[in-house]
Every structure is written in C-alpha cells, then in structure tokens.
C-alpha cells in the first residue's frame, strides 16, 4: 500500500470511500471487507493497464512530435479501453477480480506490445494520430469521443485480433442487423458467432451532463459487458472504470513518462497506476464513448435485453433498433466526424 499512499499524497487526494459497494469493469462488485476494507478493489484497480502521456518516442510521421503531452489524452484513454477489451477477449472477464498485482504473463505482454510507441504496431499513438489525418485531424490535434471511437473501430478491423468483430454506434444507436452481419462474417460451425466490441459515442446534454442520465450511467457500468467509459471533464479526457454512489473512478493519462522500449525484458510498473482517483458523476462532460464487450451470442443477447429495456424508458443513454436505415448499412456504422465533433476540448 506504500505506492498508493505515495501517489495519492503527490496528487493531494487520499481516496475517501463510503460503505457502499463499488462497481467495476465487467460488472464486478467489490464490497467493504470488515478486516481489510476495500483492499480487493484497490488491488483490482492497480491491475488495470494504464496508458499515459509518453515522451522521447520516435517522431509521428509526417510531424516531428516525439511526445503526445498536451494533446494525446483521448488517444491514451482509447488505448486503455481497447487493452481492457483484449484482456476480456483473451483472458476472460474474471481476470480483473482474480488479479492482485501488476505482474504480466506472456499473453498480457504480447498484447501490451500492440500499444508500443512506434508506427509498426496496431494500436500505437502513432497509428491513431496517422489515422486521424484521414478525418481532418492533424498530428497533435485533439480527438473527441466520436472521432476516437471511429479510429478504434478502424484499427481493430484492420488488425482482426482472433475473430473479434467491432461495431460503432451511429447517432447513439446500435442496429441489430449490423451487429448480426459483423458477428457472423467469417464464422465456422464450431464458432458461429464472433465476440463483439461495441463502441457507442453519445452526447448526454448540451454544455453539461443532464442529471437524469446519472442513474443510467451507474446502471450500464454494472452490466457484465461493460468496458467503462471514455470521456472526462472540460479540457480533460480519462478512462472511467468504476463507480460508487454518485462518483466515478478513473485512470488519468495526464502524467508524462518516458517511452518504454518493449524489448524482450522490460518493466510494466509504469503501466499501472498506484491509486484510484474519483470525481462526481455530475462533473462529467456530456460527450463520451461507452464501450461493451460481448464474448458470445448469449452474452450479446443479454446485452441486447438490457439495452432494449433501458431504451424503452423515458430517458436512455443510447438506443437499439432491429434494422438500420439505409444511410447506416455499413457494419462499421459509417460514423462520420462532421456535425458530431463538438465533443470536449481535450488536453
């Protein structure tokens, strides 16, 4: 626990927790233990992979940027959500509850190398920034939630890790026929339905988060398919991984660290944040991207049931429809940046 207290002291915020249960990624619930309090929650949080600003990496072509400090926080937050999706995909959702440290096995290290700070790996900050050029984003320019969701979808589709399908919501809506087409393409008799990554950019208010959505955010974070939320507060982007009462816990990418050369032997210590940070839900910017991972058809059906029930209420975070209109027939949902990227100004 020394690392926790040292980090929290540096940030000036020792974490205060209530007696309530804590909900984390994958719907995992952590209750306060009479002997060790929320020790299991702290261990689980520290096991989540943390991507932060880095410096002294190879320049991102065609620019001379060798650090993403000051502009890459949304890209790092997206990396965190993607890495967690791959953890669920390859290691299972129970891995979070079982993990009690920061040591990484061979498969975890292999996945981590996909995010190294260089241009020849699938999910580097280089790949995100260079892909942004196609959508009018210069290297060094901020991404909002909708743009980064599109970039994540394209990069996963290009890499195609172990039959993982990806669908990005269009106008806050997931269409069942698009999901079915994406999840059954290239399947076999033994595996008739591909695991699915769902990315849903939404805007839940004008300048501030509408309070009516706060209970719904807590609710979807409790779903077993939950990958958390990419978003933040004005001028910051973060990765939200849990909640307690009306607060959310997050990983903050706004720490500059030296770039790590991911050779045969390297330390993963700098990829784990020693302590959770939290903020009130009502402080969130209304633009965010909600992520879900469905491991199989039954898991997707459970997600669809929950989402359908929510979308029938007076208010919902997003909608689900059985069939897409003609303008949204691509399995990538043809998410466009124009007209949606007011998002948050991120640093």
Active site residues: 73, 252, 254
Closest CA to 172 of 202, 215, 148: 202
Instruction: Enumerate the β-bridge partners of residue 64.
Output: none
DSSP tag of 197: E
Find the largest Cα–Cα distance for the chain: 58
Instruction: Residue 62: count other Cβ atoms within 10 Å of its Cβ.
Output: 9
For 3, the 3-state DSSP assignment is: helix
Instruction: Enumerate the β-bridge partners of residue 233.
Output: 236
DSSP string spanning 38-85?
A: THHHHHHHHHSB----EESPPP-TTS---B-TTT-HHHHHHHHHHHHH
Q: Are strands 165-168 and 196-203 parallel, antiparallel or unpaired?
A: parallel
**CB distance 341 to 225 below 8 Å:** no
Closest CA to 179 of 161, 153, 205, 140: 153
Instruction: Enumerate the β-bridge partners of residue 175.
Output: 321
Distance CA 110, CA 338 (A): 36
Distance CA 121, CA 159 (A): 10
**CB distance 84 to 228 below 8 Å:** yes
How many Å is the Cα radius of gyration of the chain?
19
């Amino acid at each position: 626990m020394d690392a926790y207290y040292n980090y929290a002291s540096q940030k000036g915020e020792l974490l205060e927790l209530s007696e309530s249960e804590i909900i984390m990624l994958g719907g995992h619930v952590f209750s306060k233990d009479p002997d060790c309090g929320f020790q299991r929650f702290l261990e689980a949080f520290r096991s989540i992979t943390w991507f932060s600003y880095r410096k002294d990496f190879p320049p991102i072509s065609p620019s001379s940027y060798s650090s993403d400090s000051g502009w890459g926080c949304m890209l790092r937050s997206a990396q965190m959500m993607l890495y967690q999706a791959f953890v669920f995909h390859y290691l299972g959702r129970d891995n979070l509850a079982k993990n009690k440290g920061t040591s990484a096995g061979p498969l975890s290290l292999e996945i981590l190398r996909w995010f190294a700070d260089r241009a020849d790996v699938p999910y580097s900050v280089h790949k995100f920034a260079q892909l942004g050029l196609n959508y009018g984003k210069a290297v060094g320019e901020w991404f909002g939630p909708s743009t980064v969701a599109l970039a994540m979808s394209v990069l996963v589709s290009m890499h195609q890790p172990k039959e993982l399908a990806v669908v990005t919501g269009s106008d806050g809506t997931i269409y069942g026929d698009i999901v079915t087409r994406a999840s059954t393409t290239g399947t076999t008799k033994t595996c008739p339905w591909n695991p699915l990554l769902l990315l849903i950019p939404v805007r839940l208010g004008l300048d501030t988060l509408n309070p009516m959505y706060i209970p719904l955010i807590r609710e979807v974070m409790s779903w077993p398919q939950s990958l958390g939320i990419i978003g933040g507060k004005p001028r910051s982007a973060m990765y939200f991984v849990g909640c307690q009462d009306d607060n959310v816990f997050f990983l903050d990418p706004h720490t500059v660290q030296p770039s790590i050369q991911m050779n045969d032997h390297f330390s993963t210590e700098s990829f784990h944040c020693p302590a959770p940070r939290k903020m009130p839900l009502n402080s969130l910017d209304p633009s965010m991207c909600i992520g879900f991972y469905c491991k199989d058809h039954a898991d997707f059906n459970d997600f669809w049931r929950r989402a359908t029930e929510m979308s029938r209420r007076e208010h919902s975070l997003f909608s689900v429809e059985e069939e897409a209109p003609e303008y949204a027939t691509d399995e990538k949902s043809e998410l466009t940046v124009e007209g949606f990227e007011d998002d948050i100004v991120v640093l």
